[in-house]
Amino acid sequence: MRISLEVIKDKCRQQNITLSELLKQAGVSRNAFYTLARVDYVLPKSIRAIAERLSISPSELLTEDNKEMEKMKLLLNKADHLTSKYKNIDPDNIRHTLLLLQEPPIERLRRALTRGQKSYIHRE
């Protein structure tokens, strides 16, 4: 795996910024960027060796750590399950309730009290 200068330059053109502006905004020095651009492989040798031994592409060993997305998928699956089980319940209310149940009890209490105070103020 190597860096594609063409892809980077094309993306810069699409976003109307120069390569220099991109590097400055990303906090990457020109020297570091061009050093990476010249090497044949940007992954460490150890990753390549493991992938080679497993007869897979090194990219298969890489993942983006996106725990929040996984948590949201689980929540949505649970909400869908409850919606199919209880037909008269609003799916948005289920999702909202499941989200709130993930918060600590003291935070849920604080929200409820704040909401209660606001509704009391609006009644007058």
63-81, pLDDT tens digit by residue? Answer: 766 777 778 888 888 888 8
Rounded CA-CA distance 59/93 in Å is: 40
List the one residue out of 78, 109, 111 whose CA is nearest residue 95.
Answer: 78
Residues 55 and 77 both lie in one domain: no
Average pLDDT of span 77-87: 88
Task: Over range 19-45, report the average pLDDT.
Answer: 85
pTM exceeds cut of 0.75: no
pLDDT on residue 17: 93
Output the average pLDDT for the chain.
83
Radius of gyration of the CA atoms of the chain, in A: 25
Q: How far apart are CA 97 and CA 27, in angstroms?
A: 41
Q: Which residue has the higher pLDDT, 50 or 67?
A: 50
Query: Are 80 and 119 members of one domain?
Result: yes
Q: Which domain holds residue 53?
A: 5-61
Selected residue with higher pLDDT from 116 and 13: 13
Of the chain, the percentage scoring pLDDT greater than 90 comes to 17
Which two three-digit tokens encode residue 8? 């980077």
| Pair 96, 119 in one domain | yes
Q: Please count the structural domains in the chain.
A: 2
pLDDT of residue 121: 55
